[in-house]
């Protein structure tokens, strides 16, 4: 993955150019550790780092933390045509399934 993808995503969020899929919105509402707000997603992206990339498309799994230190995983893509971030899904990683929220257990 290009190192510039996280930079482009952060720039889109800073300029309020983010689109949430219906799947992402549903996951944000029903998150088992409590609902996730758009503000928390923005905070996670702007503080985040790419921990997985998907070579078949311009998206990545971003690990970021909210202002209150809540860890979030955001699968996000960048549309270069529209210069917009597309939030595909968002969740709070389960510490029983992730090592340091960066690597899957097992």
Give the pLDDT confidence of 35-56 residue by residue, as tens digits: 999 999 999 999 999 998 876 7
Number of domains in the chain: 1
Report pTM. 0.91
Q: Which residue has the tokens 């790419």?
A: 50
Q: How far is Cα 73 from Cα 23, in angstroms, rounded to an integer?
A: 14
Q: How many CB atoms lie within 10 A of CB 3?
A: 7
Is 105 inside a domain boundary?
no
pLDDT at residue 75 greater than cutoff 90: yes
Residue 61 counted as domain residue: yes
Q: Assess if residue 103 is contained within a domain.
A: no
pLDDT digits (tens, 9 = 90+) for 3-19: 588 889 999 999 999 99
| Listed residue (73, 24, 78, 17) closest to 45, CA to CA | 73
What tens digit of pLDDT does each residue of 21-39 get?
A: 999 999 999 999 999 999 9
CATH, residue 80: 3.30.2310
62 near 49, Cβ under 8 Å? yes
Residue 106 lies in a domain: no
Domain boundaries, position 66:
4-98
Average pLDDT over residues 74-94: 95
Whether the CB-CB separation of 102 and 49 falls below 8 Å is answered with no
Is residue 71 in a domain? yes
Residue 45 included in any domain: yes
Query: What's the pLDDT at 67?
Result: 97
Q: Give the Cα-Cα-Cα angle 89, 26, 42 (nearest 5 degrees).
A: 50
Interhelix angle 38-47/4-14, rounded to 10 degrees, is: 140
Say what the pLDDT of residue 5 is.
Answer: 80
Task: Tell me, yes or no, whether 104 lies in a domain.
Answer: no
- Whether the per-residue pLDDT at 106 is higher than 80: the answer is no
Pairwise pLDDT comparison (1 vs 67), residue with the higher score: 67
């Amino acid at each position: 993955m290009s190192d510039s993808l996280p930079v482009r995503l952060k720039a889109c969020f800073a300029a309020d150019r983010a689109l949430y899929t219906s799947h992402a919105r549903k996951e944000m509402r029903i998150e088992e550790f409590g609902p996730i707000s758009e503000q928390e997603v923005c905070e996670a992206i702007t503080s985040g780092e790419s921990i997985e990339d998907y070579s078949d498309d311009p998206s990545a799994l971003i690990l970021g933390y909210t202002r209150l230190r809540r860890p979030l995983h955001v699968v996000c893509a960048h549309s270069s045509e529209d210069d917009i971030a597309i939030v595909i899904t968002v969740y709070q990683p389960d510490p029983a399934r992730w090592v340091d929220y960066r690597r899957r257990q097992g």
